[in-house]
Every structure is written in C-alpha cells, then in structure tokens.
Structure 1
C-alpha cells in the first residue's frame, strides 16, 4: 500500500475541528502527549513499515523545509 499523498479525509474541516477540540483544556505537555499517542495509534492501524518510514521522512523533510 503506497503512502496516500492526496487529500483523502472526508470532511477535513470537521476532522481538524475535532483534533483541535480534543486538545482544548490540555496543557501544552498534555496536548503533545495526546498527539504522540494519536500518532502511535494510527501508525499501529497502518502497520505497513514502508509506508510509515515514508511518512516519517515526508513529515521531517516538510518540517525542515518550513522551519523559519
């Protein structure tokens, strides 16, 4: 299964709102921990090591490219 790079989330604005609302009333440390747990839960769901390695590299490269 190749990494899905095109928009693929139904109702992305609703998803974004859910993600932001899930962090409401959390400290920065709790929000970071929640996001880390979410990443691990979703990584376990994906399960494909090649896809996960590609996603890690893409996220890192994008972060470095946009770091200001």
Structure 2
C-alpha cells in the first residue's frame, strides 16, 4: 500500500539540507529554480506512485 510518509524518515536530515544548499550555491534564481524542478522530477520518478505524489502535492499545497 502506497502512502506518503509524513513522519521523520530521513537518515541524516541536516546532511541532506547542507547538500541541498551546496547544490544551489553560485546559481542565479533561474538556475536555482531549474535545479529544483529537475530534483522534483527525479524524486517523483524514484517514488513512482502517482497516488503518493498526489498526496505530496496536496500536503505541500495545504502548508503553503
């Protein structure tokens, strides 16, 4: 059964955050937005479940 995991699940969240910030370092706004778009699509492909992705979209939208 595929469901969005919303409880803490990341092995090293601080390390990931640092890597994310590093990936954006030196990019202008357009390049940074393009990186985010590519990252979202790569992670969506990895997840692979449209149901889970829809849950994520709704959760992200509701928290905006």
In the superposition, the TM-score normalised over structure 1's length comes to 0.90
Work out the CA distance in 1 between the residues paired with 2:32 and 2:56.
21
Work out the CA distance in 1 between the residues paired with 2:30 and 2:61.
21
Equivalent residue, structure 2, for 1:42: 43
Work out the CA distance in 2 between the residues paired with 1:53 and 1:30.
26
Moved over 2 A (4+): none
The alpha carbon displacement at 1:8 in A equals 0.7
Q: Match of 1:4, SS?
A: coil
- The answer for unaligned runs of 5 or more in structure 2 is none
Is 2:18 the counterpart of 1:17?
yes
What do residues 16-60 of structure 1 show as CA deviations (whole Å, max 9, x unaligned)? 000000000000110011011000000011010110001001101
In the superposition, the TM-score normalised over structure 2's length comes to 0.95
- The answer for unaligned runs of 5 or more in structure 1 is 64-68
Count the aligned residue pairs: 63
